[in-house]
A and B are shown apart, each in its own frame.
Chain A
Amino acid sequence: MRATILRGRAFVVRDERGAPIDDIDTDMIFHNAHLALTDVAQMGRHAFGNLPGWKDFPQQAQPGDILVVGENFGCGSSRQQAVDCFRALRVAALVGESFGAIYQRNAINSGMPLVVAPGVVRRPAGATGHIATGDEIEVDLAGGTLRNVSRGEAVPGAQPLSRVQLDIYQAGDLMAYGATAKG
């Protein structure tokens, strides 16, 4: 069984004024210049390569980090590389206010845990439930709870994964799931 309670360092995507960066599209996450890449291991160094000010993300991210993002993250194209580049960097999970629909499926289907938590980046510094980069956070995929361990606070609003989503996660990815069960 894969763990359904994940703990890791939060890496929060905010602009220099501390505001969320919404609508980060797949071209900002993984630019179309690298689309012909098929080897996941090669994809990590392009993560956020076209998001102004975030070129050094691949150097900053550490294995086990939990990426925390704003609204409509991953809108745009259907490219799975925009999920795979984070898998390549061994990002443990994605927590976001909302996601592009195709992006959300891509993450779940490739075994990357993705948790929807409205308001998670918008909460201002100082407010209960604020998460800053570097905080240790814990997310319960099945229970739908999020905690800021560093501050000893619950972060409200996280939603649990559905049964199918958990089953796919447990199988490893959708292909592995398909080999065992089919709807």
Chain B
Amino acid sequence: MGRAIIEKILAAHAGAAAGEVAPGRIVWIDLDVRSARDFGGANVVEQLRRAYPDGPHLDDPRKTFFTFDCVVPANTIPYANNQHACRTFARGAGCRVFDVDSGIGSHVVIEQGLAVPGATVVGTDSHLNILGAVGCFGQGMGDTDIAFAFKTGRTWFEVPESVKVTLVGRPSGRATAKDLALLLCGRLGSKGLLGRVAELYGECIDALPLAGRVTVCSMATEMGAIAAIIPPSTQVLAFCGRRARRPVDGVYADPDAAYAAAVTVDVSELEPQVARPGRPDDVVPVAHVGDVPIDSVFLGSCTNGRLADFVEVARVLRGRRVKAGVNCSAVPATREVYGELLRLGVVERLFRAGVNVSNPGCGGCAAGQIGMTGKGEVQVSTSNRNFTGKQGAGRTYLCSPATAAASAVTGRLCSVAEVVR
């Protein structure tokens, strides 16, 4: 019987137990990259120090990293303390810190060539499964899990079932990768892929550039999935190979792979979508939400913080301005993206259009790098979660960068078609 992508990746990391890899079985796997963010990182350090007072704490410092992205730079003393505890630990242990200027860890490991097709990467970020965008197995875990991974370089894992998800049809010209992600979330629901890995197929998936793949895979968590994996295109393989400075191979499913389920989603004529406050899976077409005046807009996050996302925003804002009274912030995912935005003049264009451009990081998605929402505030966000209370006391709608930019211009939730003709 053939194997699905996740089974092949796990088998390649299971050593002598490769033959035992099958859905439902528990196997021990080697981890190519182990990381911790400022969120959770200090607890990892504390656990290691407590369990191994005399060290050593790391199986391999060259495979171990800290990535600070949640609250960057720290704006509370506890966060500053936690970050500094990680820094000090890393100095002693000899592992690298991508510090507060670096950006979102899951993106940094792709840019640095650490997360490559077929690799296994763990960290304290629940959206680390975003690495499925490059055909890599990424997994978010808690502090104990990551402390154990730092120490041993291994972990136990229950081999998940795989689901083959095929998108058929051609979306409208206005729909973006985010609209595909939202549609999937709405169709499959918050538990639709619970504990499973989705392999994504279809012409509109094949055609996605890396940034779009990142967007789609970033919302696997919101569908309860272990991960969503897109088989790497030649473009993705070339990108990762350049970054890793060595050739990389993609891992693809066997033609006779067995899937727990096969799902087909029709995306013909798909129009821009939006998730209503409280639930990422409460998804409707933008055109159906009615009249929703907005107070603020957040552009960024690991879902939509790539160069292409801000270029799209700048295109919508060309010759227009953010409506007076609407607070609009943009936060690039990484320092590299930020540099490109500067080089291409996008930062200045956004600035002139009335957007508040901030340093790289999780921005409005995490604990308030660029502020929180107040009670009664209505926010439009390009991030992936809008659970009550996450971005503050207000109500958050999730949508694409194009929809968010158009809404910033009109001051109410609207489709890009209303603004750009």
Binding site for B on A (CB under 8 A): 22-23, 25, 27-28, 31-33, 35-38, 50, 71-72, 75-80, 83, 98, 100-102, 105-106, 109-110, 162-164, 173-176, 178-179, 182-183
Contact = CB atoms under 8 A, between A and B. Distances in A.
B144 A110 contact: yes
B152 A182 contact: yes
B126 A27 contact: no
Given A35-B367, A71-B191, A98-B194, A83 B78 contact: no
B142 A178 contact: no
Residue of A33, A101, A106, A174 with most partner-chain B CB within 10 A? A101
B291 to A, nearest CB: 27
Contacts of B156: 164, 183
Nearest to B123: A78
A50 B389 contact: yes
19 contacts: A22-B191, A23-B191, A27-B389, A33-B367, A36-B76, A36-B78, A36-B81, A38-B43, A38-B82, A78-B126, A79-B142, A80-B43, A80-B142, A101-B160, A162-B158, A175-B50, A178-B51, A182-B28, A182-B152
Given A38-B43, A178-B151, A75 B190 contact: yes
Given A25-B387, A80-B43, A105 B145 contact: yes
B82 A36 contact: yes
Given A36-B79, A75-B190, A178 B152 contact: yes
Contacts of B28: 182-183
B88 to A, nearest CB: 15
Given A25-B387, A76-B385, A175-B47, A101 B39 contact: no
B51 A175 contact: yes
A172 to B, nearest CB: 11
A30 to B, nearest CB: 11
Nearest to B139: A102
Contacts of B78: 36-37
Interface in B345-382: 366-367
B39 A35 contact: yes
A76 B367 contact: no
A65 B338 CA distance: 50
Mostly, the B contact residues are mixed
A97 to B, nearest CB: 10
Interface in B182-214: 190-191, 194-195
Interface residues of B, number: 48
A139 B50 CA distance: 31
A110 B79 CA distance: 23
A27 B125 contact: no
Contacts of A50: 388-389
A80 B44 CA distance: 11
Contacts, number: 117
A72 B125 contact: no
B101 interface: no
A24 to B, nearest CB: 10
B147 interface: yes
Interface in B114-131: 124-126
A101 B224 contact: yes
Question: A-B pairs with the 4 shortest C-beta distances?
Answer: A36-B78, A183-B28, A106-B142, A80-B142
B230 interface: no
Contacts of B323: none
A71 B78 CA distance: 33
B144 A102 contact: no
Contacts of B76: 36
B276 to A, nearest CB: 15
Given A72-B224, A162-B158, A176-B51, A105 B367 contact: no
A173 B144 CA distance: 8
B126 A76 contact: yes
A83 B144 CA distance: 11
Contacts of B124: 78
A174 B145 contact: yes
Contacts of A76: 126, 221, 385, 387
Contacts of B147: 175
Contacts of A178: 51, 148, 151-152
A33 B139 CA distance: 24
Given A175-B51, A175-B147, A182-B154, 18 more contacts: A22-B191, A31-B389, A32-B366, A33-B367, A35-B39, A35-B367, A75-B224, A76-B221, A78-B141, A80-B43, A83-B142, A100-B194, A105-B145, A162-B158, A163-B26, A173-B144, A174-B144, A183-B156
